[in-house]
Amino acid sequence: MNYTKYPPADDLKTRWVRLQELLSEEGSDACLISSSVNIYYLTGMVFNGFFYLQATGNPIYFVRRPEDLQHPYALSIRKAEDIPDLLLKNNSGVPGSVLLEADQMTYSEHVRLQALFPDAKIGNATPLLRKQRMIKTSWEIEQLKYSGKIHAKVYSGIRDCYHPGMSDVELQSNVERAMRLAGSIGLFRSFGSNMDIYMGSMLAGDNAEVPSPFDFALGGAGIHPSLPIGSNGSVLKEGTSLMVDMAGNYTAYTTDMTRVFSIGKLPAKAYYAHQVSIDMHNRLISETKPGTSCASIYNYTLQMAADAGLSDYFMGTRQQAKFVGHGVGIEINELPVFMGRSVDLLQPGMTFAFEPKFVLPGVGALGIENTYLVTDTGIEKITNFEENILEL
Amino acid sequence: MNYTKYPPADDLKTRWVRLQELLSEEGSDACLISSSVNIYYLTGMVFNGFFYLQATGNPIYFVRRPEDLQHPYALSIRKAEDIPDLLLKNNSGVPGSVLLEADQMTYSEHVRLQALFPDAKIGNATPLLRKQRMIKTSWEIEQLKYSGKIHAKVYSGIRDCYHPGMSDVELQSNVERAMRLAGSIGLFRSFGSNMDIYMGSMLAGDNAEVPSPFDFALGGAGIHPSLPIGSNGSVLKEGTSLMVDMAGNYTAYTTDMTRVFSIGKLPAKAYYAHQVSIDMHNRLISETKPGTSCASIYNYTLQMAADAGLSDYFMGTRQQAKFVGHGVGIEINELPVFMGRSVDLLQPGMTFAFEPKFVLPGVGALGIENTYLVTDTGIEKITNFEENILEL
């Protein structure tokens, strides 16, 4: 399978053209981008500096570091305040309106950049880029498919990482090593300030009930109060489940996949709940096509959970997540979000994770998560791996 | 050694009293804190919500999630906009001036919080908290000493993780697993938007020369352009060095320690440069006491590098870092910073990393880094481990 680390020039250009269309629709002259995630999206690399794009013409890469970066569009700067003069020298002119990433940079950084354009109307670039990044280019889709392939390969090795008497953290440490050897970048990026996490999550038994402060589907106590999420040192116990939700960060684009393992046999109710999740995925696959609303998907999963008598266990117990899926890409949590009040409709090129999960007290978490691509006619599963509960 | 995961109540109270002193000096009525790092610092836990403290009286924990958090000071909220009414009901009153974390929250978040206090003067809490966190409480110092102890223990196992023919990433994967089994939390926190990293850094041979966009001492290409830092898949080669700088995140407080391993023997110049770094540490230990200026330390290391004929290799080659040390604590990069233009003077209770490093083309990175505590009479080394180059 073809896997290249750098996007082809035309794939990048497609993104610039699309961004320029959105700038024009917005009535903005330009955008000045500085977040790592959007610089990566717009250039295929990460540098310390700014990506500047006007409604027409080529971008400028204003680069602080690395100091010796060579690129046809790169101009070296020492600080942001160098930019206005360079724009004049470059015959770009000073923009009448500029978009900045107001939902990503700090207040102080934003105030500082506003001062570069004292007479300009300042707008918010973040929603524009989040909206654009919903529709993946063909290279981006290849990246996700590659990540999905390796993701499944690593999961197929999880049983080999296990021996009886292990704790969740010990198993996770072995799996993390396997992920790194398979090419996991380690870091995976998330949007927003309430998303502290590390490599993923393994929830054993009742640790799956413990609510976390972060905006993930489920929680877990974690091993330290300074990072209250995920595995907590529980020894894996006979008759309980282990929900494995580790990152698919084998390229810059991360797939999201959850599978359930069991230590010995589980009560019948567990297999029943797990099957209800699989049924939800089957319905998703058979019914979803371009135009399907995210809210309708959320609503029917809620209804299916109720029909199965499992409402009290759906997406948690003590604290129940109010979404059942989310876009994925360079960040683990992109648009659209699958919530009751979503207004988004699915379109070809969107990639999303669907994660209807249950938690049964005394047993643990159940259900599966897959990453899907929306095609012209339906959806395609990107994370392909055995979906039934696997005994460790 | 005593290691407790939660700070004692009186240790937390000490921090609140100190913050109230700083608020009064600043002439502010209150601060509203929402970053994970400062909520952890001020409460010993992480929740989604806000920590509110006025110049006198007890704090209020305004908690969104987890929804069922029980605490004497906790008030449940659904959104930030619930806060003003609760302050009135609580007889706290509306503050005339409030500090918000302008260098940590996004522009949009800040604007939203300003709207809660439309008549108040709004100031910046970030520098206040960064300044306060420079001086560690006794419990915080215990945490760092514990991290330092485990940090050294893990480093003592590095040779066992190695076999000839390995790449830097393979070795790092084994060491990361060892770190996790020893209690590494995984995530380690950093201040600022230009600090993407994962678990630490292993720089093999000439990969140490590759500049990174981030604000760390050295760089490395990384394994993927979306995270250009650290190990890059190089096979470890005879006659080159491997610089190991992995996190000491065994509590919420991370120690910072760097050691150098070699594959076989290195050229004489390498041992020479490494010794110059050790000499700098020896000078630091013999001369530093409360009142010593960070700038003077930076300046004499620059001078010692020049006297040794190694200026071109000090803190990098293609890109040379302009600092030689930094505070450590809950974040890897706290105050003070050891730069030429620093105005900070060292005080008892400060904890910092000192990392004079060299990179020799064709060989790799050399030198050591330790974490030190400033005492009433001098400094105490917290990261104790063999300092000479160790052959793998």
pLDDT at B2: 53
| Mean pLDDT value across residues B131-147 | 98
Residues A71-100, mean pLDDT to the nearest whole number: 94
Task: Answer whether residue B173 shows pLDDT above 80.
Answer: yes
- In chain A, pLDDT over 70 holds for what percent of residues? 99
- Which chain A residue has its CA at the smallest distance from B35's CA? A193
B241-248 vs B259-262, strand pairing mode: antiparallel
Are B105 and A109 an interchain contact pair (Cβ–Cβ within 8 Å)?
A: no
Residue A3 lies in a domain: no
Closest Cβ opposite residue B183 in set A66, A219, A223: A223
Do A97 and A41 reside in the same domain of the chain?
yes
Q: Which residues of B touch A212 (CB under 8 A)?
A: 65-66
* Residue B2 resides in a domain: no
- The answer to whether residues A121 and A231 belong to one domain is no
Last residue of a domain, one of B75, B104, B132: B132
Identify all chain A residues contacting B107, using CB atoms and an 8 Å cutoff: 100, 102-103, 105-107, 109-111
Residues B242-295: tens digit of each pLDDT: 999 999 999 999 999 999 999 999 999 999 999 999 999 999 999 999 999 999
My answer on whether A103 and A159 are in the same domain is: no
Contact A213 B68 (CB under 8 A): no
**Res. A315: pLDDT tops 90:** yes
**Stretch among B16-30, B106-120, B193-207, B339-353 having the lowest mean pLDDT:** B193-207
Q: What pTM did the predictor assign? A: 0.95
Rounded to a whole number of angstroms, the distance from the CA of A5 to the nearest CA of chain B is 7
Residue A213 and residue A286 share a domain: yes
Same domain for B88 and B142: no
Q: Is the pLDDT confidence value at A371 over 60?
A: yes
Report whether A158 contacts A271 (CB < 8 A): no
CATH number for the domain that contains residue A287: 3.90.230.10
Q: Is the pLDDT at A196 greater than 90, yes or no? A: no
Q: Give φ, ψ of B304 to 5 degrees.
A: -65, -35
Pick the more confident residue, A194 or A314.
A314
Residues of A whose CB is below 8 A from B225: 5-6, 40, 44-46, 252
Rounded CA gap, B173 and B175, in Å? Answer: 5
- Same domain for B189 and B283? yes
B262, B384 Cβ separation under 8 angstroms? no
Q: Give the Å distances, CA to CA, from A111 to A94, A101, A117, A142, A151.
A: 18, 12, 10, 38, 41
Q: Give the one of A34, A223, A319 whose C-beta lies nearest to B68's C-beta.
A: A319
Contacts of A36 in chain B (CB under 8 A): 193, 196
Asked if A46 lies within 8 A of B213 by C-beta distance, the reply is yes
B267: in domain: yes
Output the pLDDT for position A187: 86
Q: Reply yes or no on whether the pLDDT at B194 is more than 90.
A: no
Taking alpha carbons only, the member of A198, A43, A31 closest to residue A129 is A31
Q: What is the pLDDT of residue B91?
A: 82
Residue that is last in its domain, among A101, A132, A163: A132
Specify whether B38 is located in the same domain as B155: no
pLDDT at position B1 over 60:
no
The phi, psi pair for B22, rounded to 5°, reads -65, -35
- Domain contains A2: no
Q: Does residue B1 lie within any of the structural domains?
A: no
State how far residue A56 is from chain B, nearest Cα, in angstroms: 27
Short-list B8, B66, B40, B41, CA closest to B136: B41
Q: Are residues B173 and B126 both part of a single domain?
A: no
The CATH number covering residue A83 comes to 3.40.350.10
Number of domain units in chain B: 2
**Nearest residue of B to residue A200 by CA position?**
B186
Banded pLDDT at B90 (limits 50, 70, 90): confident
Query: What interface predicted TM-score (ipTM) does this complex get?
Result: 0.94
Contact A257, A381 (CB under 8 A): no
pLDDT at A2: 53
In this predicted structure, which of B65-74, B157-166, B325-334 has the lowest mean pLDDT?
A: B65-74
pLDDT (tens digit per residue) in B40-50: 999 999 999 99
Q: Is 60 exceeded by the pLDDT of residue A226?
A: yes
**Residue B199 forms part of a structural domain:** yes
Question: Which amino acid, one-letter code, is at A45?
Answer: M
pLDDT for res B88: 92
Q: Does residue B3 lie in a domain region?
A: no
The answer as to whether A120 is a domain residue is yes
CA distance A81 to chain B (A): 18
**Residues making up chain B, counted from first to last:** 392
User: A223: nearest CA in chain B?
Assistant: B185
Query: Looking at the structure, do residues A115 and A152 belong to the same domain, yes or no?
Result: no
Assess whether pLDDT exceeds 60 at residue B109.
Answer: yes
> Does position A1 have pLDDT exceeding 70, yes or no?
no
Q: Which of A4, A46, A16, A45 is nearest to A143 (CA)?
A: A4
Are A252 and B224 inside 8 Å of each other by CB?
yes
Task: Name the residue among A52, A151, A143, A50 with its Cα closest to residue B224.
Answer: A143
User: What is the extent of the structural domain holding B218?
Assistant: 138-391
pLDDT-derived band at B197, boundaries 50, 70, 90: confident
In chain A, which ranges are E strands? 30-33, 48-54, 60-65, 74-76, 97-100, 121-124, 200-204, 241-248, 255-256, 259-262, 323-327, 334-339, 351-354, 358-360, 364-366, 370-374, 379-381, 390-391
Residue A138 reports pLDDT greater than 80: yes
Last residue of a domain, one of A132, A163, A182: A132
User: Does B47 share its domain with B103?
Assistant: yes
The reply to whether residue A40 touches residue B226, judged by beta carbons under 8 angstroms, is yes
The answer to whether the bond into A211 is cis (omega within 30° of 0) is no
B128 and B147 share one domain: no
Angle between helices B138-155 and B168-181 (to 10 degrees): 130
B187:A227 CB<8 A: yes
Token pair 């297999």 is found at: A271
* E strand or H helix that includes residue A291: none
Q: Is a pLDDT exceeding 90 seen at residue A3?
A: no
Q: Are residues B111 and B163 in the same domain?
A: no
Contact B198 A183 (CB under 8 A): no
Residue B196, both tokens: 């993407």
User: Using 50, 70 and 90 to split pLDDT, how confident is the model at A322?
Assistant: very high
